[in-house]
Structure 1
Amino acid sequence: MLEALLLLAVGMLASICGAVAGLGGGFIIVPVLAFLYTIPVASISGTSMAVLFVSAISSTIAYARQRRIDYRSGLAFSVAMIPGSVLGALTTTVVGSRTFFVALGIFLMIMAVMINFKPTSSRGGWLRPNTHHRLIDQSGQVHEYSFNMWFGCVVALFVGFLSSLFGIGGGSVMVPTMILFLAFPPHIATATSMFSILLSSFVGTISHVSLGHVMWDKFIWLAIGALVGGQIGARIASKIPAKAVVRVLAVCLFVVAVRMLFKG
């Protein structure tokens, strides 16, 4: 019973943090499972991915009510993520490159710092905007931004692979990319990221389930916590200013980076 309560709390905390920052929460679940149990990396990634899917459902429902999801961009990004999600699930049993983990950790630390800087309005080359979107959220606030859709989709493909491979949620790369390089408003970026994660994590979860990577006895309690946490996290995100969302994201990215640097 104590183990069930612990997993329930972990699922809730991970989902709250994941929803606020748009990361999904796997950056908490993966290290906790690795610390508590002696199990294969594939089982950790698979279970975390399945919980991520549940968390994304809960968060997306809440963000949809707030009208902060850019559905057109989210659908495009999620379609690009799907091939990467399948490849990531197939790769979990063979990956073990220390260099790769270190490189990813350093990259995320750099992003944690850069995310605090305002996106430049003079983007050119492969960052030159080719799409303009305008959203009005539930509070009546107008969000207008222009970005390069092709660049976003290329990043999403890579994100889908990382998400399924590590079970950490591709938002750790996608959200800072959306804010820093695609000039998405922070609130729209986190909400749209969770929507994209919902669609891509479904494919990743199915892939992991078919490969027998999900530990169902642990998944149940983590998922119950994630369902509750996703609603709470989305509500917290709606109450805090955009700058605070960025600060939370930076801290979460740093945590993920440290996890990657000391993995294995």
Structure 2
Amino acid sequence: MESLLLILVGMLAAISGAIAGLGGGFIIVPVLAFMYTIPVSNISGTSMAVLFVSAISSTLAYARQKRIDYRSGLAFSIAMVPGSVLGAWTTGVVGSRVFFIALGLFLMLMAVVINFKPTRSRGGFLRPTVSRAITDASGLKHSYSFNMWFGATVAFFVGFISSLFGIGGGSVMVPTMILFLAFPPHIATATSMFSILLSSLVGTVSHVALGHVMWGTFIWLAIGALVGGQIGAKIASKIPAKVIIRILSVCLFIVAVRLMFKG
């Protein structure tokens, strides 16, 4: 029963994570915390490893939909790498209670932020430095401009948060891309998953090197994540962005409250 439950959790996490580019760790981390009495580092390390598998599955599906901005995603992922390594190391020195409260506050903040409308006035550090034009598999053209330096700076902190909490930096990256970088929601989610794929590889290797991954638990979660990533990407292509944002906002808030009052 435990193996079946882990498969279902991995599938649910990958589906919900792929839909909005959040990675799904915001489901896996709380579940592992409630199911097992284990160090924070093992929770983060195992979740990060599953996140990598989920990102592979989702990215392949989004690639077929032609909704990934590869140049921007690669630039963001490069900026995430040093943050991912630092985050993996930091998990070993953060107390459990501090970890859960910090993660809960972080998720609660994101539950509010993702409901904001994209900013229209973009000057100063938000002044566009690059422009993109992408035509997806359905023939729809997406054109947008943004400040690459601001995006890369945020990506560094996203890498740190992702590896530290094991939840996937999409929780910060997607709202940033939509609110401040003017990315169309569906391009933002697809590009976020591509960035997470590259940065989570580094975070996973770091956690493996530090002995943080529980391999028995990881295998069952990964099986579910492989299937869920494909399903989530397909669902995301059919659901309006506004509906996706509302659903995940509620999910993030519920998980945040439960984490903050854990123990």
Cα deviation code 1:209-257 (max 9, x no counterpart): 0111111111100000000000000000001112223223423442454
Change (3 A) 1:37 1:102: closer
Shift of 1:109: 3.1
Distance 1:32 1:260, change over 3 A: closer
**Secondary structure at 1:146 match in 2:** strand
Equivalent residue number for residue 95 of structure 2: 96
- Whichever residue aligns with residue 116 of structure 1, its letter is N
Q: Distance in 2 between matches of 1:47 and 1:169?
A: 12
What TM-score do you get using the length of structure 1 for normalisation? 0.93
Cα distance in structure 2, aligned partners of 1:125 and 1:108: 28
Counterparts of 1:72-111 in structure 2 under 5 Å? 72-96=71-95, 102=101, 105-106=104-105, 108-111=107-110
Measure, in 1, the Cα distance between the counterparts of 2:143 and 2:83: 29
CA distance change for structure 1 residues 153 and 27 in 2, over 3 Å: closer, same or farther? Answer: same
- Cα contact 1:108–1:173 (8 A) shared by 2: no
Q: Which runs of 5+ in 2 are unaligned?
A: none
Specify the SS of the correspondent of 1:239.
Answer: coil
- Say if 2:201 is the partner of 1:238: no
Task: Tell me the CA shift for residue 96 of structure 1.
Answer: 2.6
**Cα separation, partners in 2 of 1:108 and 1:123, compared to 1, 3 Å:** farther
- Cα pair 1:186 1:245 within 8 Å, conserved: no
> Within 2, Cα distance between the matches of 1:62 and 1:70?
14
* Alignment match, 1:176: 175
- How do 1:1-264 residues align onto structure 2 when only pairs under 5 Å count? 2-96=1-95, 102=101, 105-106=104-105, 108-255=107-254, 257-258=256-257, 261-262=260-261
Q: Tell me the CA shift for residue 259 of structure 1.
A: 5.2
| Paired amino acid for 1:34 | A
Tell me the secondary structure at the aligned position of residue 53 of structure 1: helix
Residues 101 and 41 of structure 1: CA distance in aligned 2, closer, same or farther (over 3 Å): closer
Q: 1:263 to 1:206 in 2, by over 3 A?
A: farther
Does the C-alpha gap of structure 1 residues 71 and 40 become closer, same or farther in structure 2, counting only changes over 3 Å? same
Conserved in 1, the CA contact under 8 Å of 2:169 and 2:196? yes
8 A contact 1:7–1:221 mirrored in 2? yes
- Number of aligned residue pairs: give it: 263
How many percent identity over aligned positions?
A: 80
Q: For residue 131 of structure 1, what is the amino acid of its counterpart? A: V
Query: How far 1:3 moved relative to its partner?
Result: 1.0
What is the RMSD of the two structures over their aligned residues, measured on CA atoms? Answer: 1.8
**SS of residue matched to 1:134:** strand
Question: What is the letter of the counterpart of residue 235 of structure 2?
Answer: I
* Per-residue deviation, 1:113: 2.8
- DSSP 3-state at the match of 2:168: coil
Counterpart CA distance in 2 for 1:100 and 1:215 is 19
Question: Which sections of structure 1, spanning at least 5 residues, go unmatched?
Answer: none
| Contact 1:59/1:233 (8 A) holds in 2 | yes
TM-score by length of 2: 0.94
The Cα shift of 1:142 comes to 1.0
Partner amino acid for 1:230? Answer: G
Query: Any idea what SS the aligned residue of 2:237 has?
Result: helix
SS at structure 2 position matched to 1:132: strand
Aligned partners of 2:13 and 2:55: how far apart in 1? 11
Task: Note the C-alpha offset of 1:98.
Answer: 5.8
